[in-house]
Structure 1
Amino acid sequence: MTANDHRVDTVTFEVAAAALQSAAEEMGNVLKRSSYSPIIRDMDDFSCAVFTADGELVAQADYIPAQLGAMSLVVKAIIERWRARIGDGDAFISNHPYLGAMHLPDVNVITPVFVAGVLVAWAGTAAHHIDVGGVNPGSEGPELEDIFGEGLVLPPVRLAIGGAENEDLIAVITENIRDPRSTISDLRAQRAACALGGERIAELAEMYGMAAVLEVMSRMLDSVELGVRTALLSLPDGTGEAEGHLDDDGRGGVPTRIHVRVAKVGDRLAIDLSGCDQQVAGAMNVPWASTRAGIVYAVRAAVAPELGANDGLLRAVDVEAPRGSVLNPVSPAAVSVRHNTCQRFADTLIRAMAQMWPQTAVGSSTVSFFCCNVGSVSPLTGLPSVMADVVGGGTGATAFGDGLDGVDTYMSNVGVMPTEVVETNYSVRVLKSEFIPGSQGLGEFNGGLGLRREYQIIDVPQRVTFYSEQTHPDFAPKGARGGGDARSTRVTVVGPDGTKVEGLGSKASLTLQPGTVLRVETAGGGGYGNPDDREEFARDHDVRNERL
């Protein structure tokens, strides 16, 4: 389609495109306010988006990049499996890591949007559910060896048929999870969000006509593609290379290598992941959907951060990711802890592009991504409950200023669970939540501070899974342009008698007795520039606020 072929004028295009974006954001508001689980309503571990009829993502609410870059693959898997059997009022559910999804707790609920009996679009949500069954409470475990131990695996199947909830499927889900009230309630909240998205698309069709809305969707994809290509043309051609490491394979093995080569020629970017290690024995493997999401995130961040992120971005990118590698494993390799690897991949890809384009260099952010899942008991009801919490750290400094303190970095964007929520819903006490002075890398601009958080198990023995990265000092966040590296992460378990439990490392699944304390101290961000060039007022601020 050329400019002269457009049926929609520029003003109408901008208004309708903004309306689609607004629809995705409004879906997010519905999901957040309707969900039952703290990980969704308090920590914002969910995403919402609108797709074309053939599954291309056109508008998203910026919640979790790790989810949004993958969701269109789920829509396409639904289309491939169901085709002509897709009906108005249907809702589909899937969490299958090898059919477009990410890991089992991130459950996708996707609904078709029909206008005048014709399938014209899709509305979709992805949300982290606190438990989908499996060996461990929380459905994650670094030590697990295949997806069958990680929980209930759902290919694209119908959660609702013609508007009515699929009672048979709900019964199957209910009998395979630890906290069915939370999970089923959250699935219904996801359906409600999708219904709202469908209503907004139908309203646009009534206002402008369906042909115009379809053209707007197509042009939204084209405009992002053009924006990325234009941005690439403004950057010099060249190559870059970087590598990073995971502490181990999830089972105490040797460090796992993530290696990236990038090359830019004209308006295209090539990304070569063939130097990465092969898939590993534990659950650190990254299914292709999550690797794809990492590429979307890093390219957008380094090349065109001002653009919206839709599937048009990938039209300018070529990727080589051999099957059987840690970034493109073969089923049924375990993937439940894949997000730690995703974070390391994002950092490594950004550093490779910064080697090619030094003006984009930033200090590395923490990729520790400490997470703990606790099979607990609700103090309110006495019923089993599952806690899932994430602790962030410092972001890297940039040429424009210091890094941020205590946030969830890169591809993640969740908040730490409020202490009041932890202690109200679970038999867990939060003893400390504080920044760690001196955890950051120093420079002309300093990295952000890491976080210290302590959880104490109370009342009853509880099954706990925790995992983190960057506990190896050699893998701590790196500085940029002369900036210093940050400190590495530390994870400590202190028994009820006050003595440290030895031999656990940074990842474990075990039962903790009442009185046991789990402590994490996450890495800060890397510094930027020579520390001798830091302004005097900034040095004084660091001293006054005890940041060093």
Structure 2
Amino acid sequence: MKNENKGEKGFDAIALGLFASRLESVCDEMGAVLRNAAFSPNIRDRLDYSCAIFDARGELGAQAAHIPVHLGSMAYAMGDIVDRLSWQAGDQVILNDPYLGGTHLPDITLIAPVFAGETLMGFVVNRAHHADIGADTPGSMPVSSSLEEEGMVIEPVHLVRAGERDHEVWNGILAATRNPRAAEGDLTAQLSANRAGRQRLQALIEEQGTAVFSAGMEALNAYGERLARSVLEKIPDGSYTFTDWLDDDGQGQERIPIQARVTVRQGHIEVDFTGTAEQVSGNVNCPLSVAAAGVYYVFRCLMPPQTPACAGVFRNISLHAPAGCLVNARFPAAVAAGNVETSTRVVDVIMGALAQAIPDRMAAASHGSMNNLAMGSAAPGDSWDYYETMGGGMGASRETAGLSAVQTHMTNTLNTPVEVLEQQYPLRIRRYQVRRGSGGAGKHSGGDGLVRELGFLADAEISLLTERRLLAPWGLAGGRNGLCGRNLLNGEALPPKCHRRVKAGDVLTIETPGGGGWGHTDREKD
């Protein structure tokens, strides 16, 4: 008879908890190294990066609390990357190809194998967003219609082989950027983060022994699967369908539907995106790994805080999306906004479906956009690139009102401090405040968005990739919708997705959407 106190694979609860915490601490230390060594505000100040550990098969073993869209997509795609390449001690593989394990081109991933002697034990991985990956427009988040317009595509390739850097690969990447020195600094920081993670993980394996470490990874996944199953089994069996829409694709197509049918059978979840629009001309397409990240995120939010960040948690969740649809696009469809905007709408769709099954546990729609702004110098020889996302209103729930002026769901970044922004770039922040009254009314009101107003001190180019400018974040259980966002240049309205040249003295104003409200107001009840 199994000893109940021993838990999974001979690990008792305390031993398994310590094992999980030690893995997570390796990821946290990798993140600290990456942040402290990076050159760009995008990584150093906004924290647009993620770190994780995978086992030898490419299954997620641990992650830091970084960016959900980074980590969920890595968890979905890592197994294919592991099988594609040969590995030896001292390697580091680089990639950003969305169709071969990446998300969109600015997100560069570095993967380092971890060996014990001759035995491959796992991988340490980090992914960081680079403000420049060689697109024609500054910030490398263009209003594009093909992948090649978005910058340099890096298929999985060894950047470091057995400890020796491949200078042809290295120099080729740097040559594609406007500011090679900044790119070199950030890539070196990523290499360093993986080296630190590899050292710490090897030390843990040596201390515990390979057999115990492998058993710990299996036990962690078994526990994660069991804990997740206990939560998923509480969702009533049935099939729940919901449709939401993207505003536009930047190329003239509006109201682009994303539809999901969530089928629940005794704790097993099937998510089917049949009914979603075909891939479009603009860049709101995404690979299935990005859609998977959105799905995984919603179900992970239903689980208790102690749920480990491992592959076992998602074993009872399966996805289907027709090839060539918006969330399972075919090469070479443009994807720059798919990672940031479409992934966010996938969250809304899955939450809308689950609201039919477990209405008391679902919140109204949040602001629904990362409110992406990319910009940089228009003049040759005066090169600067910058990219940022902006918060908005959080959707309200049965328990509480939504928070105001925060990042929600698929992103987990900070804003760049005003002082850093103004010191580094020819910009002045003229206004930065909560957009009062933009949250939807209800028994619990949705959070308010924000207003960020930038004055340009030099000529520049800007690219905006935003959502919820035409279609408002929805309320729930009788709550009202949040207000749509607005983009303004010198007071004149801009489309949700656009590229413009601006002159010194111009003013760009971004008003982000509010979150949806939850429940009828007392006045409506009367």
Instruction: Please name the residue that 1:40 is paired with.
Output: 43
Instruction: Please name the residue that 1:526 is paired with.
Output: 516
| CA distance in structure 1 between the partners assigned to 2:12 and 2:199 by the alignment | 24
Instruction: Please name the residue that 2:477 is paired with.
Output: 481
| CA distance in structure 2 between the partners assigned to 1:214 and 1:383 by the alignment | 52
Equivalent residue runs for 1:386-425 within 5 Å: 386-425=385-424
User: How far off its partner does 1:530 sit?
Assistant: 2.0
| Residue ranges of structure 2 left out of the alignment (5+ in a row) | none
TM (normalized to structure 1)? 0.91
Q: Tell me the alpha carbon deviations over residues 220-262 of structure 1, each in whole angstroms, 9 at most, x when there is no partner.
A: 1221111121112223212222111111122132221011111
1:50 and 2:50 are equivalent in the alignment: no
1:335 and 2:335 are equivalent in the alignment: yes
| CA distance in structure 1 between the partners assigned to 2:412 and 2:130 by the alignment | 16
| CA distance in structure 2 between the partners assigned to 1:224 and 1:72 by the alignment | 14
Instruction: Please name the residue that 1:101 is paired with.
Output: 102
Q: Tell me the alpha carbon deviations over residues 28-55 of structure 1, each in whole angstroms, 9 at most, x when there is no partner.
A: 1111111111111111111000000111
| CA distance in structure 2 between the partners assigned to 1:77 and 1:240 by the alignment | 31
Letter in 1 for 2:53: V
Aligned-pair identity (%): 34
CA 1:367–1:318: 2 relative to 1, 3 Å: same
Equivalent pair of 1:112/1:123 in contact (CA under 8 Å) = yes
| CA distance in structure 1 between the partners assigned to 2:335 and 2:186 by the alignment | 23
1:455 and 2:458 are equivalent in the alignment: no
Instruction: Please name the residue that 1:540 is paired with.
Output: none
User: How far off its partner does 1:73 sit?
Assistant: 4.9
Quick one: which of 1, 6, 9 aligns to 2:9?
Answer: 6
Instruction: Please name the residue that 1:542 is paired with.
Output: none
Q: Tell me the alpha carbon deviations over residues 86-115 of structure 1, each in whole angstroms, 9 at most, x when there is no partner.
A: 111111100000001100000001100011
Deviates more, 1:2-11 or 1:21-30: 2-11
User: How far off its partner does 1:405 sit?
Assistant: 1.0
Equivalent residue runs for 1:254-273 within 5 Å: 254-273=254-273
User: How far off its partner does 1:11 sit?
Assistant: 3.1
Instruction: Please name the residue that 1:223 is paired with.
Output: 223
| Residue ranges of structure 1 left out of the alignment (5+ in a row) | 495-499, 535-548
Equivalent pair of 2:33/2:192 in contact (CA under 8 Å) = yes
Quick one: which of 16, 19, 23 aligns to 2:22?
Answer: 19
TM (normalized to structure 2)? 0.95
User: How far off its partner does 1:8 sit?
Assistant: 4.1
Equivalent pair of 1:75/1:110 in contact (CA under 8 Å) = no
Letter in 2 for 1:438: G
Q: Secondary structure at the match of 1:125?
A: strand
Equivalent residue runs for 1:86-165 within 5 Å: 86-142=87-143, 144-165=144-165
| CA distance in structure 1 between the partners assigned to 2:194 and 2:479 by the alignment | 46
| CA distance in structure 2 between the partners assigned to 1:347 and 1:302 by the alignment | 15
Instruction: Please name the residue that 2:279 is paired with.
Output: 279
| CA distance in structure 2 between the partners assigned to 1:307 and 1:347 by the alignment | 23
Q: Tell me the alpha carbon deviations over residues 427-484 of structure 1, each in whole angstroms, 9 at most, x when there is no partner.
A: 111111100111011122111110001111213x211111211111xx2111112212
Letter in 2 for 1:430: I
Equivalent pair of 2:94/2:158 in contact (CA under 8 Å) = yes
Deviates more, 1:200-209 or 1:297-306: 297-306
| CA distance in structure 1 between the partners assigned to 2:402 and 2:75 by the alignment | 32
Equivalent pair of 2:248/2:496 in contact (CA under 8 Å) = no
User: How far off its partner does 1:533 sit?
Assistant: 7.6
Deviates more, 1:117-126 or 1:7-16: 7-16
Equivalent pair of 1:64/1:412 in contact (CA under 8 Å) = yes
| CA distance in structure 1 between the partners assigned to 2:431 and 2:252 by the alignment | 28
1:313 and 2:313 are equivalent in the alignment: yes
Equivalent pair of 2:250/2:496 in contact (CA under 8 Å) = no
Instruction: Please name the residue that 1:372 is paired with.
Output: 373
Q: Tell me the alpha carbon deviations over residues 381-414 of structure 1, each in whole angstroms, 9 at most, x when there is no partner.
A: x841101111110101112211111111111111
Equivalent pair of 2:105/2:133 in contact (CA under 8 Å) = yes
Equivalent pair of 1:55/1:73 in contact (CA under 8 Å) = no
User: How far off its partner does 1:218 sit?
Assistant: 1.4
| CA distance in structure 2 between the partners assigned to 1:26 and 1:353 by the alignment | 36
Letter in 2 for 1:521: E
Equivalent pair of 1:376/1:387 in contact (CA under 8 Å) = no
User: How far off its partner does 1:314 sit?
Assistant: 2.3
Q: Tell me the alpha carbon deviations over residues 121-167 of structure 1, each in whole angstroms, 9 at most, x when there is no partner.
A: 1000000011100221121223x121111111001111112223221
Instruction: Please name the residue that 1:444 is paired with.
Output: 443
